[in-house]
């Protein structure tokens, strides 16, 4: 690398590292921008890895982490930010740089983000002794205060007070039970949004990208149904044999798979909506009814998502390839 190339790489390193620091500060100190900041924080690192190499990316992440630690009053949350979103940026950068398929980049990035998020939860527990999968007293009181303030709008004024209290406690119990699943779903959704934003940014920089995957051709192999079987088995065994941990794991697996199969069902429905040749008015009528009867529509899409891996409703040739 010539001196001019080194100077250019160093200038880009400084610029993208500064962007990481700004995104980190926004995530730490501006709660209303926290979600947007964490989604965007990996983007400068992706671009840094692609425009230079992984050494610059890792050193930029380390420098940004050091600066944020100095400027932040909560070093643990800074560490979580770096682990969960900084390393994700490095991972996405390597995947794009190695010209993986769109599905490969997306799937590996989402799974990597979930693993990094679980590692961050472990770091919080080891350092602070705080279990983020359990509602602390402050969060519980805030939820109860919200419930008390909104009882009127929930048409529960005529319900006896002891029933209202029991219902509120049961609702909090369900919320606490499904915190791990919610944590994984939101992490995966954030990583997915980061992936699509990265594609937009890379197009701006004229970086060669593989063809985008078709959202109507999403499929899962037949053996993915074992996830559903495992979730049901753990739930039933945990409830029957009084194994709270197994029951909680099973219910969270089912909770996560609800969104996974719902997304797959929407893909199947969109495929047939586009594929079937009928009058536009008929399609619009079906679309209107789907929006009008949302609970029934969700059930139909969920069933489509569960059945499709087993019977390949769309007869996709790629779904029939041997694994």
Res. 163: pLDDT tops 80: no
Q: Are 97 and 49 in contact (CB under 8 A)?
A: yes
CA separation for the pair 310, 49 (Å, rounded): 40
pLDDT value, residue 135: 83
Check residue 53 and report its DSSP letter. -
Tell me the CA end-to-end span of the chain in Å, nearest whole number.
Answer: 42
Is residue 103 within 8 Å of residue 213, measured between CB atoms? yes
pLDDT at 152 over 90: no
Average pLDDT over residues 152-180: 74
Structure tokens at 143: 């939820």
155-171 mean pLDDT = 68
pLDDT at 145: 74
Per-residue model confidence (pLDDT) at position 164: 65
Return the domain boundaries, the chain: 1-140+181-213, 215-323
Q: Which is higher by pLDDT, 300 or 147? A: 300
What pLDDT is stored for residue 143 in this prediction? 72
- Give the Å distances, CA to CA, from 248 to 53, 57, 86, 123, 240: 43, 39, 30, 22, 13
The DSSP string of 169-203 is HHHHHHHHHTHHHHHHHHHHHHHHHHHHHHHHHHH
DSSP collapsed to 3 states, 215-272: HHHCCCCHHHHHHHHHHHHHHHHHHHCCCHHHHHHHHHHHHHHHHHHHHHHHHHHHHH
Q: Is the pLDDT of residue 156 over 80?
A: no
Give me the phi and psi of 293, to 5 degrees please.
Answer: -110, 70
Query: In this predicted model, what pLDDT tens digit does every residue of 89-127 receive, in sequence order?
Result: 999 999 999 999 999 999 999 999 999 999 999 999 998
What number is the average pLDDT over the span 157-184?
80
For the chain, the average pLDDT equals 90
| Mean predicted confidence (pLDDT) in 221-226 | 93
Instruction: Say if residue 166's pLDDT is above 70.
Output: yes
* pLDDT band per the 50, 70, 90 thresholds, residue 260: very high
Identify which of 211, 320, 214 has the alpha carbon closest to the alpha carbon of residue 275: 214
Banded pLDDT at 160 (limits 50, 70, 90): low
Task: Answer whether residue 322 shows pLDDT above 70.
Answer: no
Q: Which residue blocks in the chain are alpha helix, DSSP H?
A: 3-29, 34-40, 42-51, 54-71, 75-81, 87-97, 102-128, 137-149, 161-177, 179-204, 225-240, 244-275, 280-292, 294-311
Model pLDDT, residue 168: 73
1-140+181-213 maps to which CATH number? 1.10.1760
Average pLDDT over residues 12-37: 94
208 by DSSP, 3-state: which? Answer: coil
Whether the predicted pLDDT of 319 surpasses 80: no
Which of 155-164, 233-242, 272-281: highest mean pLDDT? 233-242
Structure tokens at 115: 């693993």
């Amino acid at each position: 690398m010539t001196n001019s190339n080194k100077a250019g790489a160093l200038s880009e390193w400084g610029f993208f590292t500064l962007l990481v620091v700004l995104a980190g500060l926004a995530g730490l100190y501006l709660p209303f921008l926290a979600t947007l900041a964490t989604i965007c924080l990996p983007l400068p690192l992706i671009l840094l890895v692609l425009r230079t190499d992984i050494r610059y990316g890792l050193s930029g992440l380390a420098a940004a982490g050091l600066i944020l630690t100095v400027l932040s009053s909560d070093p643990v949350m800074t560490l979580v930010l770096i682990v969960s979103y900084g390393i994700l940026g490095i991972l996405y950068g390597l995947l794009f740089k190695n010209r993986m398929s769109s599905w490969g980049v997306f799937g590996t990035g989402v799974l990597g983000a979930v693993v990094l998020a679980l590692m961050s939860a472990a770091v919080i527990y080891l350092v602070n002794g705080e279990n983020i999968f359990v509602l602390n007293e402050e969060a519980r009181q805030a939820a109860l205060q919200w419930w008390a303030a909104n009882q009127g709008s929930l048409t529960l004024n005529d319900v006896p007070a002891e029933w209202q209290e029991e219902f509120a406690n049961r609702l909090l119990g369900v919320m606490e039970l499904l915190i791990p699943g919610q944590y994984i779903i939101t992490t995966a959704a954030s990583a997915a949004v980061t992936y699509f934003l990265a594609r937009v940014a890379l197009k701006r920089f004229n970086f060669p990208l593989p063809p985008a995957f078709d959202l109507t051709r999403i499929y899962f192999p037949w053996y993915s149904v074992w996830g559903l079987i495992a979730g049901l088995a753990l739930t039933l065994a945990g409830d029957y044999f009084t194994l709270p941990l197994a029951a909680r794991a099973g219910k969270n697996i089912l909770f996560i798979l609800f969104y996974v199969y719902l997304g797959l069902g929407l893909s199947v429905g969109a495929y047939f909506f586009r594929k079937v040749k009928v009058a536009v008015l008929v399609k619009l009528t079906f679309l209107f009814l789907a929006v009008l009867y949302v609970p029934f529509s969700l059930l139909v899409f969920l069933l489509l998502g569960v059945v499709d891996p087993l019977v390949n409703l769309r007869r996709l040739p790629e779904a029939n390839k041997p694994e």
